[in-house]
Amino acid sequence: MDTRVFKVDPVRPERDIVEYAAGVIRAGGLVAFPTETVYGLGADALNASAVARIYEVKGRPLDNPVIVHISDFNQLDIVASRVPEEAYRLAEKLWPGPLTLLLPRNIKVPRKVTAGLETVAVRMPAHPVALELIRASKNPIAAPSANISGKPSPTRGDHVVRDLYSKVEVILDGGETLYGVESTIINILTDPPKLLRPGAYPVEVIEEILGRRIEVPDFARGLGEAPQALAPGMKHRHYAPNTELILVESIRGDFDAVRGAVTGEAEKLAGKGLKVAIISFKEHSSFYKGVKAQILELGSRENMFEIARNLFHTLRVLDTLNVDAAIVECVEERGLGLAIMNRLRKASSKRIVLP
Ligand code: TXA
Ligand code: MG
């Protein structure tokens, strides 16, 4: 298939490009577009066969439902059969933005979208290109992240081109995305509400708005798997680079011990004749000077926003280095750190957990 790639102004998207892409969506085609979190692969959310193609193109397991994106509060009635008061309260404060809410499914939403579940995941993205595309398409847009299933999510137009060129009709390249990790997914239909996936909005922010605690199950921390009925998508391997990735973390948050263990592991692998990379932070690079490893920096230890933003790109860069394995340091599991640790745990093939 011919794929048309358009560079698009992320702040004031060109009308003619948006109109063209919206025409493709209305005709049942697929358009990859930037959001403030990661790039999405969009189809008309009310067109079951268009949505079926999303699964095909991504190689996505059929039991992994996709998020429906809206541009306007009026569209809530098209996708949900009911909007609980707490959902409204969160949406009013945090939409448009990186928050996804589980709502009871409206029967207009094809089962393909929700993978047979009676709930639908809904979000209103904040990115001008995403909002304009939904508006011009006239319907809500179903969109998972625009990567091949299991691979790191795309945070730049060229990531999407690499994964989806010749498989979709249109790729809108709006440059680098702002947050670099996906939206926060909350189930407010349970008591207490549950975090299904940590993301760009810290769970602490959402707890403050609701004035009550949100349960953070182990699978939301990237440990273990979600029960099938609750969130099918959470059980599949995600975000993984092709390179073997080893994560070192510490239960007590002893970061000196973490650096020591990273060094030890790197020297052990290098001693076996393997080529090794270490994924670390600006402040720690000098610490690893004597170690036989290539160093990649995620950003400053003090800046979780920067780390989140560089995370998926760094995992993709890792695969171009031709190393046999990479070792990555943990971050503190607080604020954005919860989302970062979730992604790192799911991306890694081995974990070393220190006390
Ligand atoms: O930031 C984002 O959310 C990005 C951009 C493109 O909007 N989208 C995204 O989609 O991350 P995706 O498909 O990569 O992740 C969607 C997650 C999956 O883990 C899926 O299991 C979950 O949302 N999900 C969707 N519908 C659900 C439902 N009805 N119940 C439980 N989980 C659901
Ligand atoms: Mg994804």
HEC sequence for 147-195: CCCCCCCCCCHHHHHHHHCCCCCEEEECCCCCCCCCCEEEECCCCCCEE
pLDDT tens sequence across 171-201: 999 999 999 999 999 999 999 999 999 999 9
pLDDT bin (cut points 50, 70, 90) of residue 227 is: low
**CB contact burial 286-299 (16+ within 10 A = b; e otherwise):** ebbeebebbbbbbb
Quick one: CA torsion of 82, 88, 92, 98, rounded to 10 degrees? Answer: -80
- Side by side, the strands of the sheet bearing 294-297 are 294-297, 276-280, 325-329, 244-250, 350-354
pLDDT, averaged across the chain: 95
Maximal C-alpha separation, the chain: 61
* SS3 of residue 215 by DSSP: strand
pTM for the full predicted model: 0.96
What is the pLDDT at residue 228? 46
Distance 307 CA to ligand 2 centre (A): 18
pLDDT tens sequence across 128-154: 999 999 999 999 999 999 999 999 999
**Mean pLDDT within 49-57:** 98
pLDDT bin (cut points 50, 70, 90) of residue 237 is: low
Q: Which of 182, 237, 311 to mutate to test the pocket of ligand 1 (most atoms within 8 A of CB)?
A: 182
pLDDT bin (cut points 50, 70, 90) of residue 230 is: very low
- Report whether 144 contacts 116 (CB < 8 A): no
Amino acid at 205: V
Q: Which of 69, 70, 122, 145 to mutate to test the pocket of ligand 1 (most atoms within 8 A of CB)?
A: 145
**Mean pLDDT within 334-341:** 97
- Atom 32 of ligand 1: nearest residue by CA position: 231
Pocket of ligand 1 (CB under 6 A): 35, 37-38, 40, 64-67, 98, 100, 102, 114, 117, 119-121, 125, 143-145, 182-183, 185, 196-197, 231-234
238: left (phi > 0), else alpha (psi -120 to 50), else beta? beta
- Report whether 46 contacts 138 (CB < 8 A): no
pLDDT bin (cut points 50, 70, 90) of residue 21 is: very high
Q: Which of 37-51, 105-119, 235-249, 280-294 has the lowest mean pLDDT?
A: 235-249
Question: How far is Cα 51 from Cα 128, in angstroms, rounded to an integer?
Answer: 23
**Mean pLDDT within 95-101:** 98
What is the pLDDT at residue 238? 82
Amino acid at 204: E
- Report whether 154 contacts 179 (CB < 8 A): no
pLDDT bin (cut points 50, 70, 90) of residue 229 is: very low
- Side by side, the strands of the sheet bearing 40-44 are 4-7, 170-173, 31-33, 40-44, 141-142, 68-69, 119-123, 99-104, 184-187, 194-197
Q: Which of 188-192, 233-237, 274-278 has the lowest mean pLDDT?
A: 233-237
pLDDT bin (cut points 50, 70, 90) of residue 232 is: very low
